[in-house]
Amino acid sequence: MDGSKIDREKRKRPRYPMDLPLEYRVIDAPDAYGGIVVDGSEIGLRIHSVKNLPVGTKLNIAVLFPKEFQMSNFQVTAEIIWKDVFMKEDWNGYQYGLKFVLIGEEDLQKLKQLLDGQR
């Protein structure tokens, strides 16, 4: 049986493709890093980044997206629940599965509107 089919069947929420920049910080660390949101749902994100982080790391994340004629963002705290090496053409980095551990109501509404636009 195809492993990706099993993964899709276990999902609690559908995932929607995205291609959005994000900035993240490891909790209690001063440095910020960048990445790309590949897909997302109401409970988590899949991202690409060049930074090597262990599973279990908690991150403060701001995802940037266009809203009308300006940029907006939503902010969440998430935990890395899986990690893979990711190589594509001339880019080497990591792919992470993130589960939200804290999201405010206003940010959740922004995320839901963004996901509605991807459906």
Reading phi first (left if > 0) and then psi (alpha if -120 to 50, else beta), residue 81 is in alpha
pLDDT one digit per residue (tens) for the chain, 119 residues: 444 444 444 557 788 999 999 999 999 999 999 999 999 999 999 999 999 999 999 999 999 998 877 788 999 999 999 999 998 888 899 999 999 999 999 999 999 988 988 66
Domain over 15-118 is classified CATH 2.40.10.220: yes
The reported pTM is: 0.85
Strands 91-103 and 70-88: antiparallel
